[in-house]
Amino acid sequence: MIPPHVLRINGKTNIVGLFGDPVIHSLSPKMHNTAFFELGLNYCYLPFQISKEALPAAIQAIKALGMAGVNITAPHKESAVNILDELSTDATILNAVNIVKNNGGKLSGYNTDVDGFIYLLENGFTVPYEKAVLLGAGGAARAVVLALVRSGIKKITIANRTVKRAVVFVKQLRDKGFFSGGQVEVINLDSNEVSLAAKKSLLINTLSADPVEMGIITSGALQHIHAAVDLRYIPPTTTFLQAAKSCGRPAVNGLDMLLGQGIRTFEIITGVSAPRAVMKKTLTESSEMDNRAKVFLTGFMGSGKSTTGWVLAKMLGISFYDCDELIVSAQGTEITEIFKSKGEEYFRRREAEVIKMIALQTQDKCVVSTGGGAVLQEANRTVMLESGLVIYLEVSAKEAFRRLQQYANRPLLDVTDPETRISELLQERIPYYQKAHFCINTDGKTPRRVAEEIFDLLQFRM
């Protein structure tokens, strides 16, 4: 039987898109298509993976194809600004767009991040607050600052590791007429300074890391705040939010900001009031389902899968499995010995069993570090792609050799010229690694930095 919403698609259907790279895991298509169906609107929302090089042509295609409009997500929010015909006030101030509307061939850019956070404030708290402290000064923080100003917050403190970056942003806003008098100040992301500034304030975390776990603020200091917001929504209750709730303080995650952005997008594109209850229900169910997903890390030896996986699992508050460690535990001997005594083929069979077990039988949310050669078997690739998110940790041959020099227990590198062997193996495996949903380059980055990039990828997928 053909679903009712599919029957509605015809030559008059208005197409709405999502331009980004990647877009495979966005929650927006389901939320918007459900809303269109609820109101009986002849619209269809489709995701398009657009590279940086293809963005100008994709933007122009909005006109050529007669699309109603598109959402713009990472990494194109800033790049799209200079391609459009006109910008909204917020898009101009933030120098970023997340919506393009086709007004009869004129492309108008909007930024609804501010609207999203205002929606969160209005729906998350019953009383207004006079002071706010932001942890971080990235793109999301900038929109939050504007939202706070428009919400009547009288004093804003921005805490950032790089004070200069926050100061530059504040100056840009001051030059545009914001922050009269002593309305805003910038401090170091230091535990003592943050704890002092956060007293009787709305404390907002815009960082990818957890401020309590990072020691930026203590659970004891949270007793003195008014309320807490964590823009992260995976997991739904972070260590930071749980600590605030334990102190009896109101605490909310960032899901309502995502919802607020979606509502504004719907209304800008269609000109019709959004079915908010339906959109919230769909978004909440989708995010909860997504929160159950498994994350498989693939990549060459030396790409940092094990350490990155452990850090990422801790950030997400979920379990971590290392396939190699599980095999060692089950066999009672090291992998080097397994290769020597039973051969690589035997090891690959055991590896496939472990991956299948985690993918199909393990019910809990988890991050999984796979062996460097796991992707060589089609069965492994298929079961990982179908049961979770596969993220390829890319590493160059030169960087892999540098990292692996400290290890002497890599059986495939027990050769006369390991550097050449690394290059050969990597070239053989790259086509298989690239079948992953996402790719993160790890050269020159610490495992924590890579984990933060993956975390951001999983969190903000509007």
Of the candidates 406, 412, 405, 424, the residue with the CA atom closest to the CA atom of residue 340 = 412
Pairing of strands 227-230, 202-205: parallel
Could you please report the per-residue DSSP string of 358-374? Answer: HHHT--S-EEEEPPTTG
| Active-site annotation holds for 305 | no
Helices (H), 298-364: 305-316, 323-331, 335-360
| Structure tokens, 79 | 């790049």
| Structure tokens, 156 | 């804003």
Contact predicate 270/41, CB 8 Å? yes
d(C-alpha 178, C-alpha 62), whole Å: 34
The angle formed by the CA atoms of residues 448, 397 and 414, to the nearest 5 degrees, is 105
Q: How many helices (H) and strands (E) does the chain have?
A: 18, 17
Q: 2: which residues sit within 8 A by CB, 6+ positions away?
A: none
- 15: helix, strand or coil: strand
The angle formed by the CA atoms of residues 215, 449 and 227, to the nearest 5 degrees, is 40
Contact predicate 259/277, CB 8 Å? no
| Structure tokens, 245 | 């709730």
Q: Which sign does the torsion angle of CA 170, 156, 139, 276 carry? A: negative
d(C-alpha 144, C-alpha 137), whole Å: 10
Neighbours of 214 (CB within 10 A): 15
d(C-alpha 53, C-alpha 330), whole Å: 47
- 237: helix, strand or coil: coil
Task: Determine what percent of the chain falls in helix, strand and coil, rounding each to the nearest 5.
Answer: 50, 20, 35
Q: Which sign does the torsion angle of CA 296, 301, 306, 308 carry? A: negative
Helices (H), 26-176: 28-39, 55-64, 89-94, 113-124, 139-150, 163-175
Catalytic residue among 12, 52, 63, 77: 77
**Catalytic positions, written as ranges:** 77
